[in-house]
Amino acid sequence: MSSRLDKMRLLTPGPTPLPERVRLALSKDMLHHRKGAFKSVMAEIQRKARVLFGTGQDVLTLASSGTGAMVAAMQGMFAPGEKVLVIEGGKFGERWTEIARSHGIIPLPLKVPAGQGADPEKVKKILQADADIHGVFVQLCETSTGVQHPVAEIAAITSKTPALLVVDGISGLGITPCPMDDWGLDALLTGSQKGLMLPPGLALLALSERAWEKAAAITTGNYYFNLPEERKNIRKNQTHFTPAIGLLLGLDESLNLFMEAGMDNIFRKQWALCRMARAGVEAMGLSLFAAQHPAWGVTSVSLPPRIPASQVLDIAANSFNVILAAGQGDYKERIVRIGHMGWVDWGDLSAGLHALAEACKSLGAEINSGGYLEQALAAYREAWEKGYASL
């Protein structure tokens, strides 16, 4: 097969492909950010972003990658010397620990074995034993391992304590349900290049009422990410500094796509893609890295011994024009991650599964090539019909 004749399919857990309507919005000419036309766009974004977040709170927009919003939340809500509990189930959990340390905040890591979800009971016990823990940090989806953490259960615990729950929803928001106010989260953030179907460079962050009270008392925060200043500005449909105007025009359109489809249908599609990927991988005889609590936007596949991820990725790219991701950290060569978030559908995922199977086969792995696509598509249809509410 000649990959030159194939469409390029970007199946990575960020960045993700862009819908045509978003690309057209991104190509618009500049607006001046202190003038009325831009303020109208910001008002529209605010209205729709609150639906996306499931919150009545202000949703801040920051010109940064997703990590910028992680820094903004950590440094804007906590003071040096304060203790925070960090759920560390992979690369992005570790990032919370590093961000805390960089600001003199004391992280207490709760290690979760790679490929598993956090245990809410452990969080409860730790908080009960130490009343001096000011915050709990977690990922909605630990993208490095393809696991979804039980955020609703953790929030049910933290909301009864003074500890504030901060959720990195970068690869989960707009992919899997995470209604901020209903669940009682204290901070929820995301970046533009995962579920939101935008290029990288924009981050969104919302805080609960009690998180805003805590943030108001912080004097050691970050000059660029000044949460109270950003809040004052967003209430005037403005931002503290020059915003990423082009990306915001794109965000306005991508949020239109969400609103037109309805959040429930977006989640339903993501759930069906998750079932499809898992059914396909198992049917071809490979094993899933996250046995339980799978992320809805990325599927991690354990490779057979002596099949390195880098070679699988090369073959998938060179022979099929399918771009997959390797593992991260210790699992770099041991797992392949198929991203199926954002503007990705069952056709793209079929291509991804096929490229994975063929690449593994050509490297000498035993792949069961009879019918894995049929089984994957049957799983998609069944999950779509039943919906995720039947979980």
Ligand X SMILES: *Cc1c(COP(=O)(O)O)cnc(C)c1O
Q: Which positions lie near ligand X, rule CB under 6 A? A: 14, 65-67, 92, 139, 141, 143, 168, 170-171, 191, 194, 200
Alpha carbon 75 to its chain centroid, in Å, reads: 21
**329's tokens:** 């950290």
| End-to-end alpha carbon distance in the chain | 39
What is residue 240's DSSP assignment? S
**CA pair distance 52, 45, nearest whole angstrom:** 10
| Alpha-carbon distances, residue 71 vs 91, 102, 342 (angstroms) | 16, 10, 24
**CA pair distance 135, 158, nearest whole angstrom:** 9
Given the complex with ligand X, which of 65 and 222 has the nearer CB atom?
65
Closest CA to 151 of 329, 265, 295: 295
Least distance (Å) between residue 62 CB and ligand X: 11
Provide the Cα torsion 267, 273, 279, 285; round to 10°. -140
Given the complex with ligand X, which of 71 and 284 has the nearer CB atom?
71
Least distance (Å) between residue 170 CB and ligand X: 4
Least distance (Å) between residue 305 CB and ligand X: 28
Please identify which residue in the block is written with the tokens 């099929």.
320
Closest CA to 186 of 156, 206, 160, 157: 206
Given the complex with ligand X, which of 127 and 147 has the nearer CB atom?
147
Least distance (Å) between residue 261 CB and ligand X: 22
* Residue 128 neighbours by CB under 8 Å, 6+ apart: none
What is residue 304's DSSP assignment? P
Written as one letter, the residue type at 69 is A
Given the complex with ligand X, which of 89 and 221 has the nearer CB atom?
89
Given the complex with ligand X, which of 47 and 111 has the nearer CB atom?
111
Closest CA to 159 of 206, 118, 120, 191: 120
**222's tokens:** 């970050």
Given the complex with ligand X, which of 176 and 208 has the nearer CB atom?
176
Given the complex with ligand X, which of 200 and 228 has the nearer CB atom?
200
**CA pair distance 45, 238, nearest whole angstrom:** 11
Least distance (Å) between residue 66 CB and ligand X: 3
Given the complex with ligand X, which of 144 and 302 has the nearer CB atom?
144
Closest CA to 274 of 292, 258, 255, 254: 292
What is residue 363's DSSP assignment? T
Least distance (Å) between residue 298 CB and ligand X: 8
Written as one letter, the residue type at 61 is T
Given the complex with ligand X, which of 144 and 321 has the nearer CB atom?
144
Least distance (Å) between residue 68 CB and ligand X: 7
Q: Is the peptide bond before 13 cis (omega within 30 degrees of 0)?
A: no
Given the complex with ligand X, which of 155 and 325 has the nearer CB atom?
325
Task: Give 224: exposed, middle or buried? Use CB within 10 Å, 0-12, 13-18, 19+.
Answer: middle
